[in-house]
Amino acid sequence: MSNLPQSVDIHEEGPREGFQIEPTSISTSTKVSLIEALAETGVKQIDCLALVNPKRVPGWADADEVARQIRKKPGVRYTGLWLNMQGLQRAATLPVDIIGVIRVTASETFCIRNTNRNHAQTLDEQRSWLDFYKKNSIPLEWGYVMTSFGCNYEGAVAPAKVLAMIQDLHNLAEEFGYTLPGVTLADTVGMGTPLAVERLVDQVRNRWPDLGLGTHLHDTRGTGLANAAAALRLGVRQFDTTVGGLGGCPFAASKGAPGNICTEDFVYMCEEMGIDTGIDLPALVECAHMAERIVGHPLQGKVMKAGLRPKAAA
C-alpha cells in the first residue's frame, strides 16, 4: 500500500559531507561558491560545514572562515555539524543557523570510533546540548539515530535496538521540557535495503504514530535510492541528500562510493512520481557538474550524466 507524500523537504548535505572526505585540499572560496550556487536551486537547508577537530577531519580546518564568507540567501538555512559541546559553542560564535538536534548511535562501536564516546557518555553529552538549547531559547527540532540499518563494525542492527535509541531521545527531550518532533533514521554506512526500511519505519510508526520521520541514506552498496523510494511509499517527507552523491563518513570503514543519495537523482525521481520538491532541477544538475569539477573526479550522480527527460513534442 502506498502513502506517497505530496511534497518532500530536502536537506542538502553535499558541502559538509563531500568536503570532509576528499583527500585533496579545496579552497575556502571554492567551498563557498558551491554553497551559494546550491542556495539558488530552491533548497531550503544546506549543511555547509563540520565543526570538528581538524586533526581528524582536515577537510574542515577552514570551517569558521567558510561560515563567515557565505553570502546568505533569504529563506535558506545554513547549518553545520558538531559532535560535541565544543563544536556547538563554536557554532554559536559563527553566522550559521543552529538547529536544535540530538544524536545517538545504534552501534556502540561506531559511536566510539566516530565520537570517542560510548552510549552512556553520548547521552550525557546530549544533555549538555539540550541545556545549551534551553538556555538560549533554541527549539528542539529533530533527533538522529545513526547506523539504524547496520554497522561495518558490528553488522546488523536489530530494529528493537533502534526503537530503544528513539526512546532514549524521547526521554532526553522530556528531561529538559521538550517534546521530540521527529527522528531521522540514518543508514550511516549504507547497509540498508528497501525491506529493512519498510520494516523499521512500520515499527517506529506503530509505536509513535505522530512522530515525524526522516531518512539519511548512504548509497554505499547501491541501494540508497531504492531505500528512499520505500520510505516515500510509507509517507516519509524529510530526506538528507548530497549533490552529485558527494561525501561519506570518514569513520565508516568502507571504500568505494560511500556518499549519501544523490540530490538531483532523488529530485528527478520525486518529480517524476508527482511529488513536489520545490527545487529547480536543471540548476541543481549544474551544481552537480560544478561539484564534480571541484573534487576533480567522477561523482556518482546519474541524472547529471544521462540528462533530464526530453520534453514531449508539441
Q: Which of 14, 63, 5 is nearest to 39 (CA)?
A: 14
Q: What are phi and psi of 311, to 5 degrees?
A: -75, 145
Q: Is 117 exposed, middle or buried (0-12, 13-18, 19+ CB in 10 A)?
A: middle
Q: Which of 64, 65, 118, 110 is nearest to 86 (CA)?
A: 64
Please report the beta strands in the chain, taking only residues with DSSP state E, as ranges in sequence order: 9-12, 45-51, 77-82, 100-105, 140-146, 182-187, 212-217, 238-241
Q: Is 93 exposed, middle or buried (0-12, 13-18, 19+ CB in 10 A)?
A: exposed
CA distance 40 to 33: 11
Task: Give Cβ neighbours of residue 32 (< 8 Å, ≥ 6 apart).
Answer: 66, 69, 70
CA distance 16 to 19: 6
- Which residue is catalytic, options 48, 151, 249, 270? 249
In the residue annotation, 48 being an active-site residue is answered as: no
Return the residue matching grid coordinates 532514549.
168
Which residues are designated catalytic?
249
